[in-house]
Amino acid sequence: MRAVEYNEERIKRVCDYINNHLDEDISLEKLSEMAICSKYHFHRIFKSFMGVSSIQFVQLARMKRASLRLATEPELSIIDIAYEAHFESPEAFSRAFRRIVKQSPSQFRDNPEWLSWRSTYQFRAPIIRKNVMDINILDFEEKKVALIEHKGNPALFPETAAKFLSWRKEISLSQPHKDKLSFGIAYNDPRDTPHSEFQFDLCVTHDGDVLDNKYGVKSGVIQGSRCAVARHYGSHENLMDTSGSLINWLLNSDEELGDLPCVLHYVKWDSDERELITDIYLPIK
């Protein structure tokens, strides 16, 4: 294994550990031990890959979870979110939050500036590219849905998602329901698509017509198709990497890529990203 690949694997292992242990005390000693190198060398390697120190990465990861809780879980108080993020007081949390997110916690809860928020989290852990092994071939049945379309800059997608969530709350669909399934329709890859051509739809199964509303939610249909399916665990930031591995599997199989867009089934949603479960349906012929 080349040195760069070895270092990528070490940093990826450390980032995964951090994201899965945000509620615990995380020390530089523990992280360097996981990376199997001295604290001095670990600090240099981590910062060269991630652009921030490991301690900054821990705080940013906790702030990311806290901001998602603020935006999607109004029943949680700012004080509780501050203590969960390992701050000794709400005042210290508020100062750090404003420094990182450029809004106070209450401002972000009421009117999040998603474009600025997203720019804070442009870094990402190295992806150790391995083939997706657990792949099933299934028939995806056609589904009637209520949907909202996001067209344009992918960085503004959280604003569209917030509108969809507000609509769901108005019709009492904000919480998971055994009879209501949530989906995304990915028409293209945001990494190589011009903003003017990018589209992503958010959907929830819904019978009957969708009444006129201020959010732009409307009735639609997800077409049925034969699909190759892989399960993705964790942050949606890496969904395209799992999807890419699925396509790589397809290219080395006897199957042929279909003409319909990729469908994401949000099996489990949580503001704690490590709890997310998403099934990726790649249409095939």
Q: pLDDT digits over 175-207, tens only?
A: 555 578 999 999 988 877 888 889 999 999 998
* End-to-end CA, the chain: 38
Amino acid present at 118: R
Question: What is the DSSP secondary-structure string of 134-185?
Answer: -EEEEEEPPEEEEEEEEES-GGGHHHHHHHHHHHHHHTT-SS-BTTB-EEEE
At residue 229, the 3 state secondary structure works out as: strand
Q: Which helix (H) or strand (E) holds 223?
A: none
Q: Which residue has the higher pLDDT, 2 or 212?
A: 212
Q: Which band of pLDDT confidence, cut at 50, 70 and 90, is reported for residue 237? A: confident
pLDDT value for 185 = 96
Could you give the C-alpha distances from 133 to 130, 231, 263, in angstroms and in order?
9, 10, 19
Mean pLDDT computed over 38-61: 84
pLDDT surpassing 80 at residue 34? yes
Question: What is the DSSP secondary-structure string of 67-95?
Answer: HHHHHH-TTS-HHHHHHHTT-SSHHHHHH
Mean pLDDT computed over 80-104: 93
pLDDT value for 123 = 64
CA–CA separation, 245 vs 274, rounded Å? 20
pTM for the whole structure? 0.66
Q: Which band of pLDDT confidence, cut at 50, 70 and 90, is reported for residue 87? A: very high
pLDDT value for 23 = 92
pLDDT value for 43 = 78
Question: Which of 19-28, 38-47, 82-91, 180-189 is the least confident region?
Answer: 38-47
Q: How many helices (H) and strands (E) does the chain have?
A: 10, 8
At residue 110, the 3 state secondary structure works out as: helix
Interval 129-167: pLDDT, tens: 444 458 999 999 999 999 999 999 998 898 899 899 889
**Which tokens belong to 117?**
């928020």
Best mean pLDDT range from 32-41, 197-206, 274-283:
197-206
Mean pLDDT computed over 266-284: 84
pLDDT value for 178 = 58
Interval 238-255: pLDDT, tens: 787 788 788 778 878 888
Could you give the C-alpha distances from 191 to 194, 200, 240, 273, 281, in angstroms and in order?
9, 13, 9, 21, 19
Q: Which residue has the higher pLDDT, 261 or 241?
A: 261
pLDDT surpassing 50 at residue 275? yes
Could you give the C-alpha distances from 134 to 107, 118, 257, in angstroms and in order?
43, 31, 18
Domains contained in the chain, CATH given? 3-120 (1.10.10.60), 135-283 (3.20.80.10)
pLDDT surpassing 50 at residue 169? yes
Q: Which residue has the higher pLDDT, 60 or 172?
A: 60
pLDDT value for 205 = 94
pLDDT value for 40 = 67
Q: Which residue has the higher pLDDT, 150 or 114?
A: 150
pLDDT value for 2 = 61
Question: What are the E-state strand segments in 182-273?
Answer: 182-186, 199-205, 218-222, 225-233, 262-268
